[in-house]
């Protein structure tokens, strides 16, 4: 398996505390380092750096206005007060229902809130370069499939599946899985599946493809009645317009265990078979929800490998710790066994 590693990921390193928990934000630089160390230790294929991709490629998924904001946010923050260099950026005002989203205000705080989904995703001095290089990894991973690789892995952070076309949140800024899928389409494929295995619903990915029929989005996640992102991920969200029937959410109630999780995976696999995709993108989150352990992650990889599809894996969530690397690489190892 060919892995594209984001060597600039640590430039996004938040110093802010999570306003919901009072603790540090969970997406820390050691997450990616733990995974790359496990890959080296188990010798699972070559690890390379990605070629840079153009902003035009990012605009296939994200709006130019939003990308401009991300690129310029730190400079704008410092222009307000040079002392801001010692603080991460967190929003404190948002447009809500009945308020306008189409006009971008001049005020920095208002522009920040316009593009923010929550108040727990800090922007830092290095956020743009880390997120942009992550996008490079994802598109390179997708392109590797078109060049003949059967599988690839975008090893990057920050994650991406909560980022929508014009907003960040949930620790995500650029939607790597969506970019990978869009590149496969732009390079000639007609049908691509995104399978989101993160414990939280990939709301950003869903919103990007919700009205499109060429991408089937399937997500297995904790019930949004009780789990972030709360406002999307219900089973009745099945797509709209041309995309009706091309969105499947499989929310699992609190207390669900491995049996229920693997039953949901089988449902997802049946849906994929009916779609007849030409390639698969996996949003790979490995949180220890639902009682999944090391052997379960090997089994997950084996089941995905059994599909026989060219597959690009993209790292999403999972708490830092030795088990993070083990679980991620178990999925990849299981896939290689069956692919």
Q: Give the chain's radius of gyration (CA, Å).
A: 19
Q: For residue 124, give every residue at least 6 positions away whose Cβ sits within 8 Å of its Cβ, in sequence order, or none.
A: 11, 12, 13, 14, 15, 74, 88, 89
Q: How far is CA 84 from the centre of its chain?
A: 29
210 and 232 in contact (C-beta within 8 Å)?
no
Q: How would you classify the pairing of strands 279-284 and 192-196?
A: parallel
Nearest to 177 by CA among 65, 300, 29, 283: 283
**13 catalytic per annotation:** no
Q: Is 273 helix (H, G, I), strand (E, B) or coil?
A: helix
Residue bearing tokens 């007609």: 190
Alpha carbon 196 to its chain centroid, in Å, reads: 8
**Nearest residue to 126 via CA among 7, 34, 21, 20:** 7
Residues in Cβ contact with 151 at an 8 Å cutoff, skipping those fewer than 6 apart: 1, 2, 145, 310, 311, 312, 313, 332, 335, 336, 339
Catalytic residue, from 9, 62, 143, 162: name it: 162
Asked whether the beta carbons of 145 and 312 are under 8 A apart, the reply is yes
Measure Cα distances from 274 to 24, 185, 245, 280 in Å: 43, 19, 11, 14
Known catalytic residues? Answer: 162
């Amino acid at each position: 398996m060919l892995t594209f590693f984001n060597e600039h990921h640590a430039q996004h390193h938040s110093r802010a505390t999570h306003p919901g928990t009072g603790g540090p934000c969970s997406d820390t630089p050691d997450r990616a380092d733990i995974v790359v160390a496990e890959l080296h230790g188990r010798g699972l294929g070559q690890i390379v750096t990605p070629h840079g991709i153009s902003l035009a490629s990012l605009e296939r998924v994200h709006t130019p206005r939003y990308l401009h904001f991300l690129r310029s946010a730190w400079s704008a923050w410092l222009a307000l007060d040079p002392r801001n260099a010692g603080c991460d950026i967190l929003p404190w005002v948002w447009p809500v229902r009945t308020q306008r989203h189409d006009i971008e205000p001049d005020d920095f705080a208002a522009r920040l809130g316009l593009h923010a989904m929550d108040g727990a995703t800090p922007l830092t001095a290095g956020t743009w370069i880390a997120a942009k290089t992550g996008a490079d990894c994802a598109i390179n991973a997708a392109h590797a499939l078109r060049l003949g690789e059967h599988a690839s892995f975008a090893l990057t952070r920050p994650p991406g599946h909560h980022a929508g076309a014009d907003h960040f949140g949930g620790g995500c800024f650029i939607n790597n899985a969506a970019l990978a899928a869009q590149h496969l389409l732009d390079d000639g494929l007609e049908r691509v599946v995104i399978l989101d295995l993160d414990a939280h619903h990939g709301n950003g990915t869903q919103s990007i493809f919700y009205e499109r029929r060429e991408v089937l989005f399937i997500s297995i996640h904790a019930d949004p009645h009780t789990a972030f992102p709360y406002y999307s991920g219900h089973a009745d969200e099945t797509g709209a317009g041309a995309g009706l029937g091309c969105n499947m959410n499989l929310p699992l109630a609190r207390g669900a265990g491995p049996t229920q999780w693997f039953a949901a995976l089988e449902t997802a696999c049946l849906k994929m078979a009916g779609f007849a995709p030409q390639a698969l993108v996996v949003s790979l989150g490995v949180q220890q929800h639902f009682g999944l352990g090391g052997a379960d992650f090997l089994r997950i990889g084996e089941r995905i490998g059994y599909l026989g599809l060219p597959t690009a894996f993209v790292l999403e969530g999972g708490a830092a710790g030795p088990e993070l690397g083990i679980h991620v690489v178990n999925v990849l190892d299981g896939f290689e066994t069956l692919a």
